[in-house]
A = this chain, B = another copy of it.
Amino acid sequence: MTQPRFEVQPIGTVESPLTDPASAPKQGDEGAPDAWLAFEPTVLEGLEGIRVGDEVIVVTWLDRARRDVLRVHPRGDNSRPEQGVFTTRSSDRPNPIGLHRVLVLKIEGRSVEVRNLEAVDGTPIVDLKPVLSADIAER
């Protein structure tokens, strides 16, 4: 079966003091810095309603990852046996989509500052979603 393919159009870019993927924290809660999400002018309407204090999921395209890798040592630790990439959070994977749960700190024009983002400077942003309340009535 041949699958169709789809085109991702970034909606913005990460601006961060992190520049080296190899030395970046593995996850946001492992010492990642605050960073800015700079959105494209064309999608600003989609941000209406965002508030300081919101918890959101930033979806990125990890453009420096390898897409031809299916097995990795978890967390790059060679002492751990290799596993399939889909059982790890490795950025190397067929579609290098990153998920980052962050807190909104500040909103200025088309930029949103967030806490603890481990994506490196220049990483394309492809979506932003609210963290869902466990209470269905609050959705």
A-to-B contact residues, CB < 8 Å: 1, 3-11, 13, 26-27, 29-30, 40, 43, 45-50, 54, 56-57, 59, 61, 63, 70-71, 74-75, 82-89, 93-95, 97, 99, 124, 126-130, 132, 136, 139
Interface pair A129/B86, CB less than 8 Å apart: yes
Interface pair B94/A49, CB less than 8 Å apart: no
> Across chains A and B, which 9 residue pairs bring their CB atoms closest together, nearest first?
A48-B84, A49-B83, A49-B87, A86-B128, A45-B70, A46-B70, A3-B10, A46-B84, A6-B8
What residues of chain B lie closer than 8 Å to A61, measured between beta carbons? 6
Interface pair A7/B4, CB less than 8 Å apart: no
